[in-house]
Amino acid sequence: MPIRTTSLPGGEAVPVLGLGTWMMGERKDHFADEVTALRLGLDLGVTLIDTAEMYADAELVVGEAVRRRRDGLFIVSKVLPSNASRDGTVAACERSLKRLGTDRIDLYLLHWRGGSRLDETVEAFEALKAAGKIRHWGVSNFDTGDMEELTALPAGGNCQSNQVLYNLSRRGVEFDLLPWSRERSMPVMAYSPIEQGALANNRAIEAVAVRHGASAAQIALAWVMRNDGVIAIPKAVRPEHVRQNIAAADISLTQDDLAALDRAFAPPSRKRPLEMI
């Protein structure tokens, strides 16, 4: 079955499940397996791939995986804060395009806030968009106050997404950032949706998983994608994990399931600082 989609503020539909690449490209002897994993995901209908200039040579892995099949895919990459001046952002984008072997990035994100002026980064994003180098832009690791500051800038309202740490054990964004984003129909991209595998062995999640004939990792992933407006981007290198992640998109959690998970992982009752890893 086709993977469910959500919409960017500009109206484009994107899948709620993508292929993450964090820490790919770090070892040459893993390169072929990583390319194979991404190609399997593409073959099974996942059209969104998330990467970044910071992720070692992950952009090279992505470039090889999408070679001769670029059309119809939605590639996300990110600029480091240290490169996010006006000129630095443009230069970083050109380097990423070369590594990816493509003429455009579908969604280009500021990886987190750094020393560069935010207005200059936005100006660079808009220039890249006008030049056809990127189709959309957004941010990553921005808290609610950061988003308010961003959207108050000229052209700041063109931000299409915010990528943040979000999973059952990291629910702080539910207090204010997720509601803020939903009010503006701006999807949140959830990185580390299984907490780098740590949630795969949780007993409370396993109890829910038994009822669905699924794994705890699949339940943790289905939980992240349970509501519209959240895109999960788990990384998987083993073929069986790629298949399991995709199958998680079809799991519908019941109210009893959600209540059990709330008891094990309490939702936030107050504002918390934005978490990052």
18 belongs to a structural domain? yes
139 belongs to a structural domain? yes
The pLDDT tens digits for 158-203 are 999 999 999 999 999 999 999 999 999 999 999 999 999 999 999 9
DSSP conformational letter for 147: H
Count: domains in the chain? 1
54 belongs to a structural domain? yes
The pLDDT tens digits for 116-148 are 999 999 999 999 999 999 999 999 999 999 999
Q: How many other C-beta atoms can be found within 10 angstroms of the C-beta atom of residue 187?
A: 23
Give residue 2's pLDDT.
Answer: 85
The domain spanning residue 156 has which CATH number?
A: 3.20.20.100
Tokens representing 106 are 């579908």
95 belongs to a structural domain? yes
Closest CA to 222 of 240, 239, 244, 207: 244
140 belongs to a structural domain? yes
7 belongs to a structural domain? no
Mean pLDDT of 44-59: 95
Q: Is the pLDDT of residue 271 over 90?
A: yes
Half-sphere exposure of 191 (CA within 13 A, CB side): 21
Distance (Å, whole) CA 90 – CA 133:
9
Domain that holds residue 112: 13-195+230-237
98 belongs to a structural domain? yes
180 belongs to a structural domain? yes
109 close to 138: Cβ distance less than 8 angstroms: yes
Q: Is the pLDDT of residue 1 over 80?
A: no
